[in-house]
């Protein structure tokens, strides 16, 4: 396992981050703890969760994932572990904190306190805004629509809220998620004007079929000295190969929850994945190794977030996320990308 310091922080993280969103829905607490032990044994020190989890979210299970992680953390030394969580943005899940989801300083502070209690820790290493307060295209949408503008707390208020949590010792750093290049730059502009810390990471979907980061967001990451935490590097499991040929494996996420991951079910996604699967076979690789090795190869990747519903899956994903692809394989990937540049958005 390789480790790195996330740019702009003192956080030393493993290049593989353990995702947790299945815990409490597809996985029991015992399953989750087995995954944690395996990940730790494999050298994973970076764990990502959210107040909204598990997925698909609902009022009954919300917060369960953090509680499961907190029960594992209780009584355990946190030496070397980096814990990340997220505050939910406005709308979408109005049952979170009784609907207090506008990103005001007070609501951000409340969310942090509740996450700390569930996690049974006194400080979150990286606290992320799960999705923006403002109107933006996200979760696979690619077109900005000014007609969807809405009032709400300013970026200045969000920066002040995070700065207050840092001063109070409740969090060490903060990040963004499902964010745009404009948002990254505006958060930093406001933070500089206020003389307080800016965000240090962006957690966005990134994979062979979701490559929106490659353009202006990549430039923003470079110029603001930030890194990407890549979620859905297997496109919700589509790049694992288990759905090839239209298969619907019993118990799989997209079999059980047919409303999830619409962006990964678009027509050209399947064609692109077929092409990548054929390439992986020619190169003597698994599709998982090809997909995760590609995400690792990108200069802006701070960590690849992998999750699983079994230890066997997790073992394959952790190994795949450490694969170094050779130049010829990367060149072949680039040829396929000319045909399918960003099919999932």
Query: What distance lies between CA 328 and its chain's CA centroid?
Result: 29
- Which H/E stretch holds residue 304? strand 301-306
Beta bridge partners of 230: 204, 304
Which segments of 69-109 are extended strands (E)? 82-87
Tokens 């403002």 correspond to 134
- Distance set, CA 301 to CA 34, 82, 204, 239, 316 (Å): 27, 17, 11, 18, 20
- Among the listed residues 53, 174, 206, 231, the single catalytic one is 53
CB 56 within 8 A of CB 95: no
Distance CA 276, CA 311 (A): 25
Write the DSSP symbol of residue 27: B
Distance CA 42, CA 330 (A): 26
CB 230 within 8 A of CB 201: no
Told to judge if 53 belongs to the known catalytic residues of this protein, a careful annotator would answer: yes
Dihedral through CA 247, CA 253, CA 256, CA 261, nearest 10?
-90
Query: Catalytic amino acids?
Result: 53
């Amino acid at each position: 396992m390789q480790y790195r310091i996330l740019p702009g922080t003192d956080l030393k993280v493993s290049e593989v981050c353990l995702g947790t969103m299945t815990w409490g829905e597809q996985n029991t607490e015992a399953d989750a703890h087995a995954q944690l032990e395996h990940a730790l044994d494999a050298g994973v020190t970076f764990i990502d969760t959210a107040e909204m989890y598990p997925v698909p979210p609902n009022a009954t299970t919300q917060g369960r994932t953090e509680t499961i992680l907190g029960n594992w953390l209780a009584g355990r030394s946190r030496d070397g572990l980096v814990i990340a969580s997220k505050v939910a943005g406005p709308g979408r899940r109005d049952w979170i904190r009784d609907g207090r989801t506008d990103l005001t300083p007070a609501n951000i502070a409340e969310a942090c306190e509740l996450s700390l209690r569930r996690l049974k820790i006194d400080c979150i290493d990286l606290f992320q805004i799960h999705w923006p307060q403002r109107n933006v295209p996200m979760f696979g949408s690619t077109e900005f629509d000014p007609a969807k503008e809405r009032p709400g707390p300013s970026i200045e208020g969000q920066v002040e809220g995070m700065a207050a949590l840092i001063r109070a010792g409740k969090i060490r750093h903060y990040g963004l998620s499902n964010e745009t290049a404009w948002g990254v730059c505006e958060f930093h502009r406001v933070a500089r004007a206020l003389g307080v810390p800016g965000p240090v990471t962006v957690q966005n979907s990134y994979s062979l079929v979701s490559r929106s980061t490659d353009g202006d967001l990549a430039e923003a990451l470079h110029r603001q000295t930030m890194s990407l935490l890549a979620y859905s590097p297997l496109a919700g499991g589509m790049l694992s190969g288990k759905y090839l040929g239209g298969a619907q494996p019993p118990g799989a996420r997209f079999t059980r929850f047919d409303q999830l991951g619409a962006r990964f079910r678009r027509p050209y996604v399947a064609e692109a994945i077929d092409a990548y699967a054929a390439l992986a076979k020619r190169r003597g690789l698994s599709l998982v190794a090809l997909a995760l090795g590609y995400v690792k190869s990108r200069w802006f990747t701070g960590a690849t977030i992998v999750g699983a519903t079994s230890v066997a899956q997790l073992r394959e994903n952790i190994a795949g996320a450490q694969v170094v692809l050779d130049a010829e394989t990367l060149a072949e990937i680039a040829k396929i990308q000319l045909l399918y540049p960003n099919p999932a958005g």
